[in-house]
């Protein structure tokens, strides 16, 4: 059993100062300042001084393609493991490796690989399953996806991998979208509208099929017009969760502020949409079989189209914090409790509560990640990957 004491504990609704938590691979107990003394003296207890740092639940990234020179579509154990080691340094303890629109054969290979990686385990963050971004999307809103491999919605194309798929991004206006969305949501899989030319009315209809999430709000979808509210208008007014890429490149800070004022912040989830250049420098990379040029913090195709990001989730939190519109607990919920709840995993991850996995992030006053624990093991120490401890 371990005890971290002297922390500012970030709970879903409050910050508990000078507190502590007792944990093994799961969280045992939350201890207020006055309760610490009695527990501290127990024998066989490893006591860790939290040095007054913030302690948050591990972050969850539900939309990430790659990092450290590797991509989900590489479909190898090494690729996913290297991504898992890169992202845990930014406080991410769980993630959904995200596929791209590529030939169905390649997508199935990537799905099969993730299934194997999950059963084998990784050295870093824990892959929870897959976010399938395409191939059931609208070519007119393809973004950086390759339109040659776009196909009509059809469950038979993915039915052998439903156990590993957690989110599917589709364009609801496509023929066959309704049938696909209904079978997926009935099976407990999140269906998200994205890369879509859907009208407000179409999204309203899709909400009735169980579509309850929006992929990277504002990007690759119909925008807000005062007579045609589009996908954005529907996302902002209906009870749906919205992904936000908070790199201040995909969305102007004022637009993010607007979203956080209109939407219940409990319905907002930060994602990175990170591609393989994440954690690396400028240069030429790949995404979904296309060349991507990374320069000045931006990742773009040759034609200038934004192609994912090199944002990390801890940077996204620091960016949102600069807007000063959310309290600290609500800010952290954007990367912890909210994504966990979308996936139906809030009693397992995404909050510090007795019984939950001990996925923990220690951060300083500037919200820089210092130490990261996954299942109670310290995997990142003072910002560096702890090779001996996984």
Q: How far is the CB of 169 from Zn ion (least distance, A)?
A: 8
The dihedral formed by the CA atoms of 193, 199, 205 and 208, expressed in degrees to the nearest 10: 30
- Nearer residue to Zn ion within complex by CB, 96 or 356: 96
- Nearer residue to Zn ion within complex by CB, 2 or 65: 65
Q: How far is the CB of 24 from Zn ion (least distance, A)?
A: 36
**Both tokens of residue 33?**
């300042």
Q: How far is the CB of 63 from Zn ion (least distance, A)?
A: 6
Q: How far is the CB of 65 from Zn ion (least distance, A)?
A: 6
Of 74, 149, 247, 273, the catalytic one is: 273
* CA 288, 137, 235, 186 torsion-angle sign: negative
- Nearer residue to Zn ion within complex by CB, 240 or 275: 275
Contacting positions for Zn ion (CB under 5 A):
133, 273
- Nearer residue to Zn ion within complex by CB, 20 or 288: 288
Question: Residue 164 to residues 111, 158, 220, 282: CA-CA distances in angstroms?
Answer: 7, 10, 25, 33
Residue whose CB is nearest to Zn ion in the complex, by number: 273
Q: How far is the CB of 131 from Zn ion (least distance, A)?
A: 8
Residue 144: what are its φ and ψ, rounded to 5°?
Answer: -95, 15
- Nearer residue to Zn ion within complex by CB, 28 or 273: 273
First to last CA, the chain: 17
Partnered with residue 369 across adjacent β-strands are 363
Q: Is 61 a catalytic residue?
A: no
- CA dist., res. 92 & res. 380, Å (int): 11
Active site residues: 273
């Amino acid at each position: 059993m371990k005890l971290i004491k002297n922390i500012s504990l970030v709970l879903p609704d409050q910050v508990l100062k000078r507190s502590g938590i007792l944990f093994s691979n799961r969280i045992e107990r939350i201890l207020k300042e006055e309760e610490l003394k009695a527990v501290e003296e127990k024998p066989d207890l490893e006591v860790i001084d939290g040095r007054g740092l913030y302690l948050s639940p591990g972050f969850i990234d539900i939309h990430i393609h790659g990092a450290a020179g590797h991509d989900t579509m590489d479909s190898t154990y090494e690729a996913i493991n290297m991504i898992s080691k890169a992202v845990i340094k930014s406080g991410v303890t769980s993630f959904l490796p995200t596929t791209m629109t590529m030939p169905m054969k390649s997508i199935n290979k990537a799905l099969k690989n993730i299934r194997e990686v999950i059963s084998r385990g990784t050295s870093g963050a824990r892959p929870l399953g897959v976010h399938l971004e395409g191939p059931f999307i609208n070519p007119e809103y393809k973004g950086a996806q390759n339109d040659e491999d776009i196909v009509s919605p059809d469950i038979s194309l993915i039915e052998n991998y439903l156990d590993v798929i957690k989110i599917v991004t589709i364009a609801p206006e496509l023929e066959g979208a309704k049938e696909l969305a209904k079978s997926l949501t009935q099976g407990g899989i999140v269906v998200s509208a994205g890369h879509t030319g859907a009208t407000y009315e179409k999204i309203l209809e899709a909400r009735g099929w169980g579509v309850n999430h929006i992929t990277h709000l504002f990007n690759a979808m119909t925008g807000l017009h005062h007579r045609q509210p589009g996908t954005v208008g529907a996302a902002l007014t209906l009870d749906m969760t919205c992904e936000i890429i908070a790199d201040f490149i995909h969305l102007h800070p004022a637009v993010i502020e607007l979203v956080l004022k209109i939407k219940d912040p409990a319905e907002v989830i930060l994602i990175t949409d990170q591609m393989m250049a994440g954690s690396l420098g400028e240069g030429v990379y790949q995404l979904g079989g296309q060349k991507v040029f990374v320069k000045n913090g931006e990742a773009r195709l040759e034609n200038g189209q934004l192609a994912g990001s090199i944002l990390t989730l801890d940077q996204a939190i620091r960016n949102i914090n600069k807007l000063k519109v959310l309290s600290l607990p609500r800010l952290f919920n954007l990367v912890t409790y909210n994504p966990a709840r979308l996936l139906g995993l809030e009693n397992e991850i995404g909050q510090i509560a007795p019984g939950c996995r001990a996925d923990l992030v220690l951060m300083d006053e500037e919200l820089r990640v210092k130490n990261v624990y996954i299942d109670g093991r310290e995997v990142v120490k003072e910002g560096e990957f702890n090779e001996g401890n996984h």
